[in-house]
Amino acid sequence: MGTNTVNSGEQLDRQSRILEAALDLLSRHGISGVSMRSVAREAGVALGLVNYYYDDKTSLIRAALHRVDEHDLLLVTPDPDLTPDEQLRTALRRVAGADLLTTKYLSLRLHLWALAQADEGYAEINAAAFDRYIDGLATLVANARPGLSWAECRDRASDIVVIQNGMWLTSLLGVDKASIKRSIQRTEDIAFAPAPDAG
């Protein structure tokens, strides 16, 4: 046990502080606002330490991307205490929750999307995370509506994600909350729609 064991929740270790600082700067000022120096300043450490924990600036951004993707996946992770129907409904409503519609989180997502668009490497990570998210959502649909084919569940998940992405983006532009509420309802309608006629 090192001397740091006393820090029960006092503050994160330096590496986490650096990552947190990078996320903060990225959400507030975009990628142009994230320099190794500004990250070091924000984290309260020396410049060299950033390069000690993260070889590259690229590695640092990659780590940030993974952090956000991880957070995204939690949104479609089922709560075992709920029924399949409630699990799905909860997941769909979560995207309008107070913690999610924070400017910080939405801004972060937006900047990471932009980053992925400009860089091949980030794009792959992003695409993989996107696929996992759709898969998670489709699984929730499949559990709540066992009669549906997997393909149909994926389709519904895709359609829902289109609306969800729209909500996230449009929230940043300041659309009224009533519209967000109606959009949430629309995702639920898609998710819980009766099985389509065959043929």
Partner DNA sequence: ATGCATGTTGAACGAGTGTTCAATAGCAAG
Partner DNA sequence: CTTGCTATTGAACACTCGTTCAACATGCAT
> Interface residues with DNA (CB under 7 A)?
2-3, 14-15, 34-38, 45-52, 55-58
**Cβ neighbours of residue 101 closer than 8 Å, sequence gap 6 or more:** 171, 180
Closest by alpha carbon to 47, among 8, 75, 73, 14?
14
Q: Which range of residues in 60-68, 87-95, 137-145, 161-169 is near a second copy by CB under 8 A?
A: 161-169
Residue 101's Cβ-count burial label (10 Å; 0-12, 13-18, 19+) is: middle
Per CB under 8 A, does 162 bind a second copy?
A: yes
Among 20, 135, 152, 155, binds a second copy (CB under 8 A): 155
Smallest distance, a second copy to C-beta of residue 102, A: 13
Select the residue interacting with a second copy from 2, 32, 198, 199 (CB under 8 A): 32
Q: State the Cα–Cα distance between residues 82 and 84, nearest whole angstrom.
A: 6
Q: Choose the contact partner of 105 out of a second copy, DNA, none; CB within 5 to 8 A by kind.
A: none
Residue for token pair 């696929």: 131
Which residues, 6 or more positions from 179, have their beta carbon under 8 angstroms from its beta carbon?
A: 170
107 binds, among DNA, a second copy, none (CB under 5 to 8 A by kind): a second copy
The answer to whether 23 contacts a second copy (rule: CB under 8 A) is no
Q: Where are the alpha helices (DSSP H) in 57-149?
A: 57-75, 84-94, 103-118, 120-144
- What residue ranges bind a second copy (CB under 8 A)? 28-33, 107, 110-111, 113-115, 117-118, 126-127, 130, 155, 158-159, 161-167, 169-170, 172-176, 178-180, 182-183, 186
